[in-house]
């Protein structure tokens, strides 16, 4: 997999498109199948989430496929003008095509938080450096600890949360509207901040700001020589992380626990490809180890046969294999 700079993109490259919109979708269940059909017809892979509060997800396809999907969404009631961020690669970073129905498109676990009613002040990437350089501003990274570990903004506070559900409790314990007059927040693509800033406003914080379009939009628009970003940005696809050029970064991923790992960390004794790494080694059961080892074995066997092990291509391989066996048995019966 080789990342492609936006200036060198051709029609043969894959567009990786992150998108979301908070909007009332009372009939979101009815949208699922038509949306899935459009994605499959245009060879779009990735996962989109639908809920009564809107749509969220990241998908990838050739330029025409993404354009067709976005055009279809734009023609649906309430789904026009969706917020999108794009990067590019020479391979598709997803294996499957999914549309999932959810209670929330980003889960914080607090009832009644509605970014359509109240939300923080959006700050353009071009204006972000000036805001977070203000000594009166407390800068908070709303992402999970494993994401923050590989990259964040200078002087950002790390809440050390394992999931976004933990953020409200952390905020109640560590932030005070009387003490923290200006609060700036950021996340990968902007969606978590829609809810976290809405929550903060409802808790009595007056001046609450968030990075419009998230880290991905900042990396896209702010020149490297002006950046206040340090490290790489974790992404939820097979690239694992991207650098300031939005190209695949230096991290791989443990395929047992999904945590980002470096090449040096693969040298640790706890690492076994597809089975464990130093993050999860001590927490796995013997049953899990055996299952992961078998999965890795099947992946290697599929690779040896020149087949994909997971995803749409693998399903097609299995379907054709079953049809061939069925045809062979039918031919033997007729002999």
**Catalytically active residues, by annotation:** 187
CA-CA-CA-CA torsion sign (73, 144, 93, 307): negative
Contacts of 215 (CB under 8 A, 6+ apart): 186, 187, 188, 189, 229, 233
Cα-trace Rg, the chain: 22
Would residue 64 be called left, alpha or beta, if left means φ above 0 and alpha means ψ between -120 and 50 degrees?
Answer: alpha
* DSSP conformation letters of 106-175: S----TT--TTT---EEE-HHHHHHHHT-TTEEEEE-S-HHHHTTEEETT-B----SSGGGHHHHHHHH-
Q: How far is CA 117 from the centre of its chain?
A: 25
Contacts of 235 (CB under 8 A, 6+ apart): 58, 188, 216, 241, 242
Neighbouring C-beta atoms of residue 319, cutoff 10 Å: 10
Distances in Å between the Cα of 144 and the Cα atoms of 66, 188, 332 are 29, 10, 57
Tokens of 37: 């059909």
């Amino acid at each position: 997999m080789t990342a492609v700079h936006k200036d060198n993109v051709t029609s043969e490259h894959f567009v990786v498109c992150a998108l979301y919109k908070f909007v009332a979708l009372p009939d979101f269940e009815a949208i699922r199948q038509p949306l899935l059909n459009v994605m499959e017809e245009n060879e779009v892979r990735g996962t989109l989430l639908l809920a009564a509060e809107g749509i969220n997800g990241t998908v990838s396809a050739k330029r025409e496929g993404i354009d067709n999907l976005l055009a279809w969404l734009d023609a649906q009631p309430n789904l026009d003008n969706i917020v999108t961020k794009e990067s590019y690669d020479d391979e598709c970073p997803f294996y499957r095509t999914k549309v999932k129905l959810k209670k929330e498109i980003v889960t914080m676990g607090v009832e009644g938080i509605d970014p359509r009613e109240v939300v923080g002040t959006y700050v353009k990437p071009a204006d972000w450096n000036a805001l977070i350089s203000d000594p009166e501003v407390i800068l908070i990274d709303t992402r999970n600890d494993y994401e923050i570990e590989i990259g964040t903004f200078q002087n950002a506070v790390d809440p050390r949360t394992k999931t976004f559900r933990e953020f409200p409790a952390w905020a109640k314990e560590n932030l005070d509207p009387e003490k923290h007059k200006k609060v700036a927040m950021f996340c990968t693509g902007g969606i978590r901040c829609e809810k976290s800033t809405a929550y903060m406003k409802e808790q009595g914080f007056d001046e609450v700001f968030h990075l419009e379009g998230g880290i991905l939009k900042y990396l896209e628009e702010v020149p490297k020589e002006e950046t206040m970003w340090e490290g790489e940005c974790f992404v939820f696809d097979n690239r694992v992380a991207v650098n300031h050029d939005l190209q695949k970064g230096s991290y791989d991923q443990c395929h047992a626990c999904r945590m980002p790992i470096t090449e040096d960390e693969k040298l640790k004794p706890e690492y076994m490809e597809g089975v464990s790494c130093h993050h999860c080694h001590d927490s796995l059961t013997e049953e899990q180890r055996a299952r992961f080892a078998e999965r890795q074995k099947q992946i290697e066997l599929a690779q040896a046969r020149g087949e994909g092990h997971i995803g749409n291509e693998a399903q097609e391989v299995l379907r054709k294999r079953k049809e061939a066996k069925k045809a062979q048995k039918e031919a033997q019966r007729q002999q």
